[in-house]
Structure 1
Amino acid sequence: MSADVAASALPGGRTAHFQLVSHWHLAAPIAAVWEALKATERWPDWWPYVQSVRELHAGDADGLGAMRHIRWSSRLPYGVAFDVEVVELQRHRLLRGRARGQLEGAGLWELTPDSETTRVRYTWCVDLNSRWMRVVAPLAAPLFRWNHDGVMRAGAQGLARHLGARLLDAY
């Protein structure tokens, strides 16, 4: 799996911005994929790098405005935690969240039906708020990319297992 990545840092390591794009193709109906992705509180059941999800605010009946605190582990010897608020959702099509905490930015899940299968595109645009991450970002960008790829691959594999489906592709 590979993610498209752009990374930049201001002089002095004050900020670092990453844009990562991942693609999953699952032999599962779009409704099942949608429900699994929307049920963030269940992610630790199937996504190995999600340590915990705690609801901070339920949001409306569809989940708009919901806020969750998510703790992640990683392939590298560090973890991150941040709050994610659902700021846009279109049933079976897209789910957009705004992240605040050690990482700050936005994540967008886009689902597309493909016959009896589902294609998922995840775009993660974040700034690093942890000082150590900002400082090392100019040199560590390839490691951060490798780490993100592994976390996302594990998510794709875990979701396929959770749904009893075949993972057709993940990159």
Structure 2
Amino acid sequence: MTTEFKFVTEWRIDAPLVEVCDAISHCLDWPLWWKGVEAVKMLESGDANGIGSVHRFTWKGRIPYRFTFDLRVTGWIPLTLLEGRAQGDIIGTGQWIFFRENELTVVRYHWHVYPNRRWINLIAPIASPLFRWNHHQVMRQGAEGMARLLNARIKSFQASTETTQK
């Protein structure tokens, strides 16, 4: 049995769109400001726009386990969209969407993944609420870290999850 997670996180931040997009697109710097990101390493550089680049991420949330996965950039529209495909401890896709609304920058992140660890899939039927909580805490840490980095304020943080067993 495999567990499918569909996370949607939205940050509304009082900061310029270009600064927010730069912070997200420069993922090698995430460990400097995003608690929970233990390491990011570039494995492949991709084309001039970064399409095809691959980075290895190691994350640790509030519960004591780590995820390591490689993320290949599959789409990039400056100031609008960043997409990637993950392989490793999790398998799936991520999509950052950026836009301005009511003088705020909105960052919406879609993360559609399947754990690739047997133990997680075994306990997911009872532990899914804990896994969802942990993910949302890591994303909240990202919003707070970005606010500190950009000397800005987070105006709102929203998170939702769909979980299914297959």
User: Normalising to structure 2: TM-score of the pair?
Assistant: 0.93
Alpha-carbon distance in structure 2 between the residues aligned to 1:20 and 1:137: 15
Unaligned runs of 5+ in 2: 159-166
The corresponding residue for 1:73 is: 60
Paired amino acid for 1:63 = G
Unaligned runs of 5+ in 1: 1-13
2:82 pairs with 1:95? yes
Alpha-carbon distance in structure 2 between the residues aligned to 1:117 and 1:29: 8
For residue 77 of structure 1, report the CA deviation from its aligned partner.
1.0
The corresponding residue for 1:126 is: 113
Q: How many corresponding residue pairs?
A: 158
Alpha-carbon distance in structure 1 between the residues aligned to 2:121 and 2:22: 35
For residue 15 of structure 1, report the CA deviation from its aligned partner.
1.2
The corresponding residue for 1:32 is: 19
Alpha-carbon distance in structure 1 between the residues aligned to 2:152 and 2:68: 29
The equivalent position to 1:170 in structure 2, one of 145, 151, 157, is 157
Alpha-carbon distance in structure 1 between the residues aligned to 2:115 and 2:23: 27
Greater RCO, 1 or 2 (C-alpha within 8 Å, sep 6+): 2
For residue 115 of structure 1, report the CA deviation from its aligned partner.
4.2
The corresponding residue for 1:84 is: 71
Paired amino acid for 2:2 = T
User: Normalising to structure 1: TM-score of the pair?
Assistant: 0.90
The equivalent position to 1:113 in structure 2, one of 100, 104, 116, is 100
C-alpha RMSD of the superposition = 0.8
Alpha-carbon distance in structure 1 between the residues aligned to 2:11 and 2:102: 15
The equivalent position to 1:56 in structure 2, one of 15, 39, 43, is 43
The corresponding residue for 1:16 is: 3
The corresponding residue for 1:147 is: 134
Overall identity of the aligned pairs, in %: 42
Paired amino acid for 1:18 = F
